[in-house]
Each structure stands twice: as C-alpha cells, then as structure tokens.
Amino acid sequence: MTSRGEDQQAAREARLDELHDKLTTAVDQLVSGEDWKRALAFAANFRSRSFNNTLLIWAQHAAAFERGLVPEPTPSYVAGYKQWQGLGRQVQKGQPGYQIIAPVTGRFASASPQDAESWRRLGKFEKPRPGETVRSKMVGVRPAYVWDASQTAGDDIPEPPRPHLLEGEAPAGLWEGLAAQVKAARFTLAEAASASEIHGANGVTDYLAHTVTVRADMDAAARVKTLAHELGHVLMHGPDNQEARQHRGIGEVEAESVALMVGAAHGMDTTSYTIPYVSTWAAQVEGREPAEVVKATGERVRSVALKILDQLDTTQVGNGTPPGLERDTPAREATRQTFAADRPAPARREPVLAEARSL
C-alpha cells in the first residue's frame, strides 16, 4: 500500500511526463525556417517565460483555439489563477489551464560562498548559522498552470505603449543601443560602403581584429537588423565556441534568431528574416537528438536576446506578463546564475574561427 506522499509524487511525475510529450511534439513541428521564425517571434512577446514554456503555451493555446475555447489563435498575456485574481480578473468556468514547467527551489547556506562544496540545504524552518550566506537554488521542477487573458473576465487590462514603425524605419534609439553594446564588448564598429567591400555580406564580425562591419547602403531597418545579428555573433560565438565552429549553420541560425527576437520586441517586421531549415542543421549535430538541439538553441537565443534587450533604453512590446503584475522570475534567475558562478569556469579552447558574416 502506497502512502499519500508517494501517490502525490507519482501523479506529479505523470504530469511531468505528459508535459515532456507535449513539448517534444511542439519541438518536432519546428522543422522549417518559417516554423522557427514564427516560434521566435512569438517568444519575443513572451520573454518572461523560458523557451520551453513558451512552446508549451503556444501549442496549448493553438489547441484551445481549434476547439473554439479562445477567440484568437495567439495568446496575449498569461498568468496563474491567483495572479489573475490579484489583477481583478477571474478565470472563466470551463477554461482549461495551460500546463507549464515551474521550478522547485530550496534554500542553501554557506559560510564560504566561493567554495561550491560548502553549500548545505536548509530544512523548511531551519535558520542559517551566524555569518552564513543564504541563497535559493533550483532543485527540481513541477507542473503548474497559467491562463490567457482571453480566458478571464473582470477589470480592464491597461495596454502599454507599443512601437509603431514605417517600412524601412529603425526603432528610435535601437542602433545607438546596439552599437554601445558592441563597443562594451571591446569590438570596433565600422561601415562598408557596399557589400562588395565585405565579400558580398551585409555584415561581418572579425574576432581576430575585434571589428564589426555593417553595410552603409541599406535602409535603417536592414542596418539595425544586421547590427543585431552581428552582436549575436559577438556575444555567442567566437574562436573558442567549438559547436558553432563545427556546425556553421548553428552559429548563423543563432545570430539571426537573436536579431529576430530583438527586432520583434521592437515591433519590427520579421518577414525579411532568412533562417535555414531547422531540421537540416539540427540533424547535423553528432551525438544529439535534433529536438534537444532545437530546445537548447532556443533557450540560448532567448537568454542572449534578453541580455541585449535589458540593456536598451527603447520602447519595446510587452513580455507576456499582464501589466501591473510583477513576477519574480528575473530575481530567481539571477540567484541561480550567482550560485552557478561559484563553480570553476570551463577550460578555454584554442582559437580557430576568425570571422562570421551576415548574408
């Protein structure tokens, strides 16, 4: 005879297995560049969620739309049951929640924070010893539920300002903000009069010379998109990135995907973005399943795009969290990163890759 705790654990694991199946199905459908582009443009509007949770919300909302449960094929804002209540809205009867993966955290204490082996987990009501540092760390996951705004009723949701762009126009301040980040990475930004000066490319990142070059003879929107692409290369790739070096397609997909998310977060038209077939480059990574490559790339792209967007003083579209609701995700993520930073850094690889070009 099993205990109540064992039954609850078994039920949780069953729900997590179901979530994994849903996520795998959603990832398997991202076979073309267009599929990937739509997924990233959607993720740009739900930046407060992980890439995996974004795909889960996307797939489940699409299913709800097909069943006639929601009026639009794309969700606007999502939040938990009590979070909606806190905003004066109530989930309507009969509306199913969308399952997502939520972190389970534990408290850890250490008198020597720099020593990764010194951290010990605190009990539920246990207090740290004098002089100890306390941090939260993710220790597992659990299924959780969120609902789209269209599944709720109640107080109006205030709409934040959205950027409005003319064709060929770049968002105000975006070029300057991206250029500042290129400079902060200790790269020099230069212009080329035409593509012929940079071997037919729109932009080039030279890791040895520490330069980023962008064509000057394109409209403002194309130039800023290219600059975002090259900044993606600067932040993600380089001579010591072995995976991008061995599979150039991955590096180009990642850089273009970062540019797409940065552009979409500013209301830019993404129809001109060109991304290779996902099924092609994902299948070329030896020893890894294509679905795992797609998920890892998606989260990596999201992380870098968020880093870029957080440093920009520009008007951006919402991040999927209802206005007025503050989530503690950034704080938790920062804590996890701080905890991880205590671990030794991986050994550097020998430089090999010299430059990346934006076509």
The average confidence (pLDDT) of the chain is: 84
The confidence score (pLDDT) of residue 246 equals 57
Is the pLDDT assigned to residue 336 strictly greater than 60?
A: no
Percent over 70 (pLDDT), the chain: 85
- Rounded distance, CA 108 to CA 38, Å? 40
Is the CB of residue 102 less than 8 Å from the CB of residue 327?
no
Is the pLDDT assigned to residue 17 strictly greater than 90?
A: no
Q: Which of 5-9, 87-91, 220-224, 314-318 has the lowest mean pLDDT?
A: 5-9
How far, in Å, are 129, 203, 328 from residue 97 at the CA level?
42, 44, 21
CA-based nearest residue to 206, from 255, 181, 239: 239
Q: What are phi and psi of 5, to 5 degrees?
A: -65, -40
Is the CB of residue 60 less than 8 Å from the CB of residue 98?
yes
Look up the pTM and report it: 0.76
Mean of pLDDT values over 145-149: 96
Is the pLDDT assigned to residue 265 strictly greater than 50?
A: yes
Convert 291-308 to b/e letters by CB count within 10 Å (16 or more is b).
bebbbbbbebbbbbbbeb
Is the pLDDT assigned to residue 176 strictly greater than 50?
A: yes
**Between 85 and 293, residue with greater pLDDT:** 85
- Rounded distance, CA 76 to CA 125, Å? 39
- Rounded distance, CA 190 to CA 76, Å? 39
Positive or negative, the Cα torsion across 222, 226, 232, 234? negative
Mean of pLDDT values over 280-295: 81
**Between 306 and 159, residue with greater pLDDT:** 306
Q: pLDDT-derived band of residue 57, with 50, 70 and 90 as boundaries?
A: very high
